Structure 1
């Protein structure tokens, strides 16, 4: 895909975000676009950066580390994919946020790695709302207890929740899942846990992000609609 195509796609996505916010009475500044650059070359990241995109999401550790070395522009990296505990060390100090924390063992390892650089990492707890075996995430009924345990780790700061709901051709059909994540976020916020903020909801992708925005998304993860179909990493 050409630089011009990527930049035009970004412009269109931003317009759709603005429209979705307008339709539900939200401030567009309250929604951030995560350009999902997984399986795409560093050149595509730089093309998007040239069009004003600063925030990028990656899902594979090895691909991310290789790509990050090629991108010297001051981008903000988020890790959004399933993360094995033994690979957390490769992200240390290189990402601003991890969206996919779904178990205490992983959280403890991330905490240990960020302790080594005396920094605090922002994380989201991934919730598997539909109990799909093919997807990671803590069960919704177990999420409050997990967040409570994460609040005790000094080098993590829980900022909110993330989900990958079931796919529906009709984007409106997924809205109940987005609504459920928002309601779960509100429930956890009500626990008033120290160091925990439920101000981020990472939900919505290329085909359904307007519906996610209508239900409170603050981070929408869009890849295909910006960079084209994914390639095998």
Structure 2
């Protein structure tokens, strides 16, 4: 079955997951998400231009991402570096930016520094040092967000809140890293009393961190299930996947092993 995007053919599996017309589905979903962002900003008394949408494309096959590009998406957020690298090879010179949002093993640093423009899960000095060394070798810079474990769950990656400020003070040692802000993952819950403390804590930590490092300005927080609450609590970047691309075929634990139990 052909779509409106050139000679791309959809398999039965593609149609079952994304429908017969993924391009227009993605366009419509993108409009809905952007409208929700605008509405959430207005309720919070914020300028909608102050919030940036990062579409999360994990599990979406490379050939389908061509349709996401045709729908207007120019930044692909991926959890697994090897999956992102494979998609980039398939998509070739497609002019998109790649953002890695998941935990990065130190032996995968060399893959990230070759193409990613941003990394939302910096959580150790060793990782910062390895990234900086590779980036220096490749004459590149990388935007980074420091991940903080605001929920207190042992299963999550990220710095403990008390460790953040000392960590922030060391970032000047890594000139090829460009600190942009902080990132967190709230529990997947409909209970705002569980979610809000995580977002509020990250905001308080940012307010303290920016005094030590003025570049730490942004808050990367909020996903498909909670991004409106995150905006209310100050999010500058919201990471939205399923509200744009539909339900994933695998549970989140496949992409966040030992990180979140959902």
Structure 2 length as normaliser, TM-score? 0.84
Counterpart of 1:8 (choices 28, 46, 68) is: 28
Match of 2:218 in 1: 200
Contact 2:132 2:176 in 1 (8 A): yes
Instruction: Give the match's secondary structure for 1:63.
Output: helix
Of the three residues 52, 55, 60, the one matched with 2:72 is 52
Shift of 1:48: 2.1
Specify the alignment match of 2:8 in structure 1.
none
Structure scoring higher RCO (CA < 8 A, sep ≥ 6) equals: 1
CA distance in 1, matches of 2:192, 2:54: 19
In the alignment, what sits opposite 1:161?
182
Q: Which residue of 2 aligns with 1:79?
A: 100
- Cα deviation for residue 187 of structure 1 reads 0.4
- By how many angstroms is 1:73 displaced? 2.2
What is the CA distance between 1:172 and its match in structure 2?
6.0
Give the whole-Å Cα distance in 2 for the aligned partners of 1:27 and 1:44: 32
Q: Report the TM-score, using the length of structure 1 for normalisation.
A: 0.94
- Change in 2 beyond 3 A, CA 1:119/1:78: same
Per the alignment, residue 119 of structure 1 pairs with: 140
Structure 2: gaps spanning 5 or more residues:
1-17, 255-262
CA distance in structure 2 between the partners assigned to 1:147 and 1:66 by the alignment: 32
1:223 corresponds to which of 203, 224, 241: 241
Shift in alpha-carbon separation, 1:88–1:206, aligned structure 2, 3 A: same
Task: Provide the alpha-carbon RMSD of the alignment.
Answer: 1.5
SS in 1 for 2:186: coil
Q: Distance in 2 between matches of 1:74 and 1:26?
A: 31
Matches within 5 A, 1:58-207: 58-71=78-91, 72-171=93-192, 173-191=194-212, 193=213, 196-207=214-225
Q: Classify the secondary structure of the residue corresponding to 2:115.
A: coil
The more displaced of 32-41 and 163-172 is 163-172
Question: Which one has a bigger Cα radius of gyration?
Answer: 2
Partner-residue secondary structure (3-state), 2:114: coil
Structure 1: gaps spanning 5 or more residues: none
